Amino acid sequence: MTINVTRDHVVRYRARVSHLDEKLPPGSFAKAAWGGLQDSIPRGGVISLHARVEDTQPDSWEDPSIAQIWFRGGADYLVPRDDVGVFTLGSFPRDPELGRSLDKLADDIHRVTGGETLLVREVSARLALDGPTAIRASGLTGRVLIRWDAANIWAIPVDRPKIEVEDARRELARRFLHWFGPTTVQRLAVWTGIQPRDAAETWKSIEKDLVAVDIRGESRSMLAADLDALTGPAPLTGVRLLPFDDAFTKLDKELLVANEKRRGTVFPPVGQSVGHIPGAILVDGEIVGSWQRQQRKVTLHPWTRLRAAVREEIEREALSFPIAAKSKATVIWA
């Protein structure tokens, strides 16, 4: 039996499970990053934490409870430190030859660094790799963490996570379904960057835990344990400012913003220059405009006229961004 749900059900559900309904207590960074927070845009990760955790500070991205890794395609991510193996080994290729080449790369990194943290460009030079990006695939082994401060990036050799690879694959798929459901196996492949056939094999191993859900005529899947949370959430209240590629806005952009012209202002096509990279203004669970940041100056681009109380709340969020800079925090309404 297929269950029909609305677009509002999905948006409200995703906002709640990714902790955008009510901010978590101070220090709850691992819980906020449970499903992974992309940190590719300078300080995007800490702004995603700020949207979810009270009293987030400029250095909260270095909290011991979370770690930076190379995830999908070498993208920088913040994940719970105890769950590094879920995100790394969970994306490990099933191709034996490719797997061996990644393990060899990790071996080489450990060898040339002597187990010490070292700038990625120096590690790449010692290994005679073709550019500093060639090293990023080593993240899939779980044996190389990173530190990126928006200026430099370091490689951190670590022991292989203790979780079994198949267990990691299944857990990563479940986390994806929990944060991005209802969804599809094709979207799992895109989100993790793994081969579609690899995603299909993992998906098949957890099918017994899934139920079919129809949204706008498209058949998707959902964790059965999350079905009540999907169909029962009440409307959200409050304001959040989300960075580009935040977990909430990562997938299904057409679902989040139906109007194509407006969607292009907050999710510009790849390669299209729009000045400073935009983020999303979220009010009561709905995107109502975009914002851009230059140091501590935040420019707001609402699509419609907003109530004075909402504008004040948006300004408070923008002025409290955890960005370390000498300039004074300012807000401009475009």
Nearest-angstrom CA–CA distance, 180 and 147 = 27
The kind and range of the H/E element at 23 are none
For residues 138 and 98, the answer to whether their CB atoms sit within 8 Å is no
> Within a domain: residue 296?
yes
> Within a domain: residue 280?
yes
Q: CA 155, 161, 165, 166 torsion: positive or negative?
A: negative
Residues spanned by the domain of 251: 239-333
> Within a domain: residue 271?
yes
> Within a domain: residue 254?
yes
pLDDT band at 2 (very low <50, low <70, confident <90, very high): confident
Nearest-angstrom CA–CA distance, 172 and 149 = 26
Burial class of residue 232, CB neighbours in 10 A (0-12, 13-18, 19+): exposed
**Structural domain count of the chain:** 1
> Within a domain: residue 256?
yes
The kind and range of the H/E element at 141 are none
> Within a domain: residue 291?
yes
**Residue 232 scores a pLDDT above 70:** yes
> Within a domain: residue 5?
no
Nearest-angstrom CA–CA distance, 114 and 82 = 24
For residues 140 and 91, the answer to whether their CB atoms sit within 8 Å is yes
pTM: 0.95
What local confidence, expressed as pLDDT, does residue 194 receive?
Answer: 95
- Between residues 302 and 3, which one has the greater pLDDT? 302
